[in-house]
């Protein structure tokens, strides 16, 4: 089939599809021309159906690159640009990426890499197209094991996510979706997909600048925005004017909002839709409407049509209402598995249901309450941080016996990682810290170290992070 952008350009050629900066706009026809040109430039580099990695920032050019790769029928591996070079190297190897396309500012080391500037000076060639069941995009997330895994999103997944969202929040042909979240996260990438599927414009921001976004919300320059809790807090901090009535929906992800925030939004008539989702569900999977927000404080809403949720106990049986268990999800937006990792895929699914690892319950009206994010997940400024990944790096230092990492509450970031470390021999904290910073992205760097003689473990010898978390958060009160 033709690419989604190609079809959209045929359907709505003169509709604006992208706003960026103060004055720059592109119609869907212009976007398609840009993407087609890039696709023709990339095509000569393509040798297989393995992924092509993108290492980019939130630029219009990145939007065109993403669509260009859809025209060539290769999955795109979206590299988180905050990672360390070692982390990038892991993902490139694990995904068997055939090529990296990168912005010049990034110092990527890879066998086959081409900068966008070099690409733009190449020659042209014919291009291919995709089928809906093809893998469209890959994003790596870590799990309990600490090894990042490549989550595959098919075109069908993205399509189902886009339709479920539209049936929930409505679809207005003149909508403008504001994208200040990274394109390499599912939250940002999915906005680009919705844009071509719905035929609506994206307003792209290079970064989250609360004053700029506040002004756009007041001036009616966007109708929908996706944010994480810390972004919402920053918006509330600068809010001094009513938002324009054209603005109709704020999708809030990245952990539940605290009660005071929900109430402030209600008082200020900010249409907040709290949501729960993950890379594996191609973005939001459940959403709570503003109408229910105060009545169901702390809830994450109901699954988007036609997704399904069930809560399962440790014996694999369905939990009754209001009983906590593991959250299982099923539906057309759920990933078909992890790239090149049949074992991880097999253990993540149970009869077609994805075991999220998150814990929660459904109340008597079917609203989901997420009690605890999976595997002691730390959510810091919207980024997911998996303790096991950081612990694994710390423990790899020869002077370290073992480590335990937990989230400490933080006004600005929601949570920040803190490391408990048991040493084998004397080690300077600075030395340890620089060992870690070489190997991990900045947002994963521990903000505090606690050196201790032993870590709390349960009878089976398993680390009990909950105790460390209680300790560190008690300290801070």
Binding mask 147-186 for a second copy (x = CB under 8 A): ------------x---x--xx--xxxx-------------
User: Closest separation between CB of residue 222 and a second copy, Å?
Assistant: 17
Span of 7-15, 137-145, 258-266, 396-404 interacting with a second copy by CB under 8 A: 7-15
Name the residue nearer to a second copy (CB basis): 146 or 332: 332
Sign of torsion, CA 308 314 315 320? Answer: negative
What's the CA gap between 33 and 412, in Å, rounded? 41
Instruction: Return the residues of window 432-461 that contact a second copy according to CB under 8 A.
Output: none
Written as six digits, the tokens of 468 are 């460390």
Spell out, one character per residue from 250 to 289, where the chain touches a second copy: x when CB under 8 A holds, - when not. Answer: ----------------------------------------
Cβ neighbour number for residue 237 with a 10 Å cutoff: 9
Phi, psi angles (nearest 5°) of residue 210: -60, -30
Among 10, 215, 259, 323, binds a second copy (CB under 8 A): 10
Query: 191 to 250, contacts with a second copy by CB under 8 A?
Result: 197-199
Nearest to 345 by CA among 135, 47, 54, 65: 135
Please give the residues from 118 up to 137 whose contact with a second copy meets the rule CB under 8 A.
Answer: 132
Per DSSP, the residues of 428-451 read -HHHHHHHHHHHS-GGGS-SEEEE
Map the footprint of a second copy across residues 383-422, applying CB under 8 A. none
CB nearer to a second copy: give 173 or 245.
173
In the complex, minimum distance from the CB of residue 301 to a second copy, in angstroms, rounded to a whole number? 9
Site size toward a second copy (CB under 8 A) is: 29
**Residue nearer to a second copy on the CB measure, 55 or 160:** 160
Q: Which residues contact 12 (CB under 8 A, 6 or more apart)?
A: 28, 199
3-state secondary structure of 141: strand
The helix (run of H) or strand (run of E) holding residue 302 is strand 299-303
Site string for a second copy, 346-365 (x = CB under 8 A): -------------------x
Cβ distance to a second copy smaller for residue 80 or 165 = 165
Q: Cβ 50 to a second copy, closest distance in Å? A: 25
Report whether 95 contacts 150 (CB < 8 A). Answer: yes
Contacts of residue 230, defined as CB under 8 A and 6 or more positions apart, other chains included, come to: 254, 381, 382, 412, 413, 414
Shortest distance (Å) from residue 76 CB to a second copy: 19
How near is the Cβ of 349 to a second copy at its closest, in Å? 16
- Measured in Å, how far apart are the chain's first and last C-alpha atoms? 58
Stretch that binds a second copy, among 5-13, 137-145, 415-423, 462-470 (CB under 8 A): 5-13
Q: Is-contact 254 232, C-beta < 8 A?
A: no
Q: Binding to a second copy (CB under 8 A): which residues in 296-325?
A: 302-303, 305-306, 308
Residue labelled with tokens 């473990």: 457
Residue 15 interacts with a second copy (CB under 8 A): yes or no: no
Quick one: 199 or 387, whose CB is closer to a second copy? Answer: 199
Rounded CA separation 420/402 (Å)? 8
CB of 364 to a second copy, least distance (A): 12
What Cα–Cα distance (Å) separates residue 320 from each residue in 117, 315, 364, 367, 374? 58, 13, 9, 13, 21
The residues that touch a second copy, with contacts defined as CB under 8 A, are: 1-2, 4, 7-8, 10-11, 13, 132, 159, 163, 166-167, 170-173, 197-199, 302-303, 305-306, 308, 330, 332, 365-366
């Amino acid at each position: 089939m033709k690419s989604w952008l190609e079809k959209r350009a045929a359907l709505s050629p003169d509709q604006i599809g992208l706003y960026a900066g103060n004055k720059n706009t592109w119609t869907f026809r212009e976007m398609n021309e840009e993407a087609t040109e890039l696709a023709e430039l990339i095509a000569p580099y393509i040798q297989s159906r393995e992924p092509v990695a993108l290492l980019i920032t939130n630029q219009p050019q990145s939007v065109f690159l993403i669509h260009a790769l859809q025209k060539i029928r290769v999955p795109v591996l979206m590299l988180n640009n905050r990672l360390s070079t070692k982390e990038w190297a892991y993902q490139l190897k694990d995904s068997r990426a055939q090529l990296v396309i990168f912005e010049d500012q990034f110092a990527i080391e890879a066998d086959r890499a081409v900068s966008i500037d070099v690409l733009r000076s190449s020659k042209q060639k014919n291009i291919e197209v995709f089928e809906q069941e093809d893998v469209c995009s890959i994003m790596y997330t870590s799990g309990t094991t600490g090894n990042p895994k490549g989550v595959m999103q098919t075109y069908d997944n993205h399509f189902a996510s886009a339709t479920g969202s539209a049936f929930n929040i409505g679809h207005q042909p003149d909508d403008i979706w504001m994208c200040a979240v990274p394109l390499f996260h599912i939250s940002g990438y999915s906005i680009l997909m919705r844009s071509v599927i719905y035929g609506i414009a994206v307003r792209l921001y290079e970064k989250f600048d609360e004053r700029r976004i506040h002004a756009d919300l007041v001036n009616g320059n966007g109708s929908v925005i996706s944010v994480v809790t810390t972004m919402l807090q920053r918006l509330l901090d600068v809010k001094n004017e009513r938002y324009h009535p054209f603005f109709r929906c704020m999708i809030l992800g990245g952990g539940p909002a605290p009660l005071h925030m929900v109430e402030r939004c209600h008082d200020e008539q900010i249409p907040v839709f709290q949501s729960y989702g993950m890379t594996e569900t191609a973005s939001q999977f459940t959403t709570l409407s503003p109408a229910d927000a105060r009545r169901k404080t702390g809830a994450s809403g109901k699954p988007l049509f036609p997704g399904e949720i069930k809560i399962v106990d440790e014996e694999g049986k369905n939990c009754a209402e209001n009983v906590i268990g593991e959250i299982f999800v099923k539906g057309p937006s759920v990933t078909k598995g992890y790239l090149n990792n049949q074992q991880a895929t097999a253990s993540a699914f149970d009869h077609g249901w994805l075991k999220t690892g998150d814990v929660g319950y459904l109340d008597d009206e079917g609203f989901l309450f997420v009690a605890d994010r999976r595997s002691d997940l730390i959510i810091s400024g919207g980024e997911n941080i998996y303790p096991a990944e950081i612990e694994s790096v710390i423990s790899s230092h020869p002077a370290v016996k073992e480590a335990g990492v937990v989230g400490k509450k933080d006004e600005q970031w929601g949570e920040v990682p803190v490391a408990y470390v048991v040493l084998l021999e004397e080690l300077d904290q600075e030395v340890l810290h620089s060992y870690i910073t070489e190997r991990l992205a900045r947002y994963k760097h521990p903000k505090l170290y606690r050196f201790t003689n032993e870590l709390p473990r349960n009878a089976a010898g398993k680390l009990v992070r909950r105790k460390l978390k209680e300790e560190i958060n008690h300290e801070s009160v």
